[in-house]
Amino acid sequence: MYLYLIMKFEDYKFDPKIKRGLAQLGFKRPTDIQYKSIPNILKGEDLLAIAQTGTGKTAAFAIPIIDMIYAGKKTQRRSDGVKALVLVPTHELAIQLNNVFESIAKFTTVKSAAIFGGVAQDPQIQKLNMGMDIVIATPGRMFDLISQGYLKTHRIEILILDEADYMLDLGFIKDIHDVIRKLPNRKQTLFFSATINEKIKKTAYSIVKQNAIRIQISPKDPVSKNVDHFVLFVEMDHKRFFLERVIQENPDVKILAFVRTKVRAERVAAAMQRVNIQAMTIHGDKTQAERSEVLSQYKSGQINLLVATDVTARGIDIPQIKIVVNYDLPDDPENYIHRIGRTGRGSVRGMAYSFCAEDEMEKLASIKQLLKQEINVLDFSKDAYDETLHIERERTYDYKGLIEEIESIEKKRKKKRK
């Protein structure tokens, strides 16, 4: 009973050094997913946890894992290998999760490392050779380092699958089963996901123990209540004008705009730069170094507009994003939830604007059905709509030059990758 009466982190029986790390991060009380997950993880239970983005899922498993590993290290003279393996779908998420682990474990001797492709492997090998307790990895680089003998799996006691639904969408199911075969039979498995369907449920129960604990937070409300939803019905070719208007009406605010494709991301960013709005892009054609640099500039406030494909919709925690713009509505309605999960995190309020063209009406209907709620319509009067377009039409755009500039950017990127 005692555990369920706990309301503050200081009341848990964590090591004082872990409490110190939590205090420095400003963590005072557990969120719902943390409150329900932590006791079960500490008891060694397998776990299937479903909770919407922005609810503190990472800390829900990071805190007890660090506490258990640190307690074990204090009874040993030296570390005897990796104890926990966290599998994630993207490079950015690996980096982000490692930052969380390092911050919580800051005052302990627990060490973690992020392992991912797209960058040189030597620094990651050096980290592993130093003796890591926790490894956060994307599947490709993980298997590379296992096959080369640098990442040893025989001592792993805990396997965590984070953003598990997205990993399945990306076709990582074979990788998941392959890595499980390399791990000890006696291990704890934690399965964390923002959404669940029959496919995910079936996969989860094929991985965790039969008596695994299932925790589902706010199943009837898949999105944060801190987000206000709006839709603007606009012609496809007019979207860039209304993105500019949103930016002008919200100066000094971090805005994240999602588009369908990599090429479209570059075109939208170039269109904004033509009207003196600083913008950068992030998508799958960027190298890892480029993506890291873009995120660094965006987080630090050097730019306030980031144009992205869905590669950044999952799991990335960028502080103080006030507005998410669905410049293009997603093909999969669940991606709407993950996109807008970048705002309205914690107790901070956010806004989600969706630009809906005529041929996107079915996508909008699917999103509404998933949300189980209406989306506020931005009822622009004809005069306001025409005013926005009139301002833009008075500008003299060199569209030929714009297209040539975009093509030049794409050619340079392709040449650089070769």
For range 327-355, the mean pLDDT: 85
On the CB side of 220, how many CA atoms lie within 13 Å of its CA?
A: 0
Choose among 265, 286, 288: nearest CA to 92: 288
What is the pLDDT, as a whole number, of residue 289? 83
Farthest-apart Cα atoms in the chain, separation = 75
For range 170-177, the mean pLDDT: 83
pLDDT band at residue 270 under the 50/70/90 scheme = very high
What is the pLDDT, as a whole number, of residue 396? 41
Please count the residues of the chain.
418
Judged against a pLDDT cut of 50, whether residue 402 lies above it is answered with no
Which segment of 173-177, 263-267, 313-317 scores lowest on mean pLDDT? 313-317
For range 91-106, the mean pLDDT: 93
Judged against a pLDDT cut of 70, whether residue 355 lies above it is answered with yes
Which segment of 160-164, 322-326, 382-386 scores lowest on mean pLDDT? 382-386
For range 10-16, the mean pLDDT: 92
pLDDT digits (tens, 9 = 90+) for 207-238: 887 788 888 876 555 666 788 899 989 889 88
Highest mean pLDDT, choosing among 17-31, 185-199, 217-231: 17-31
For range 336-347, the mean pLDDT: 79
What is the pLDDT, as a whole number, of residue 371? 82
What is the pLDDT, as a whole number, of residue 316? 67
What is the pLDDT, as a whole number, of residue 389? 59
Tell me the domains of the chain and their CATH numbers: 2-216 (3.40.50.300), 227-417 (3.40.50.300)
- Give 326-364 as a 3 state SS string: ECCCCCCHHHHHHHHCCCCCCCCCEEEEEEECHHHHHHH
CA-to-CA distance for 129 and 127, rounded, in angstroms?
A: 5
Using DSSP, how many helices (H) and how many strands (E) does the chain show?
16, 14
What is the pLDDT, as a whole number, of residue 203? 80
pLDDT digits (tens, 9 = 90+) for 286-299: 887 888 899 889 98
CA-to-CA distance for 318 and 69, rounded, in angstroms?
A: 28
What is the pLDDT, as a whole number, of residue 411? 64
Residue % of the chain over a pLDDT of 90: 48
What is the pLDDT, as a whole number, of residue 409? 57
The mean pLDDT value of the chain amounts to 84
What is the pLDDT, as a whole number, of residue 400? 47
What is the pLDDT, as a whole number, of residue 315? 57
What is the pLDDT, as a whole number, of residue 214? 87
Judged against a pLDDT cut of 90, whether residue 122 lies above it is answered with yes
More confident residue, 378 or 261: 261
pLDDT digits (tens, 9 = 90+) for 51-89: 876 778 899 999 999 999 999 887 765 557 899 999 998
More confident residue, 237 or 133: 133
On the CB side of 299, how many CA atoms lie within 13 Å of its CA?
A: 11
More confident residue, 163 or 40: 40
Sheet holding 305-308, edge to edge: 279-282, 305-308, 254-258, 321-326, 350-356, 227-233, 376-377
Whether 87 contacts 167, CB under 8 Å: yes
pLDDT band at residue 359 under the 50/70/90 scheme = very high
Burial-class residue 57 by CB neighbours within 10 Å (0-12, 13-18, 19+): buried
Judged against a pLDDT cut of 80, whether residue 95 lies above it is answered with yes
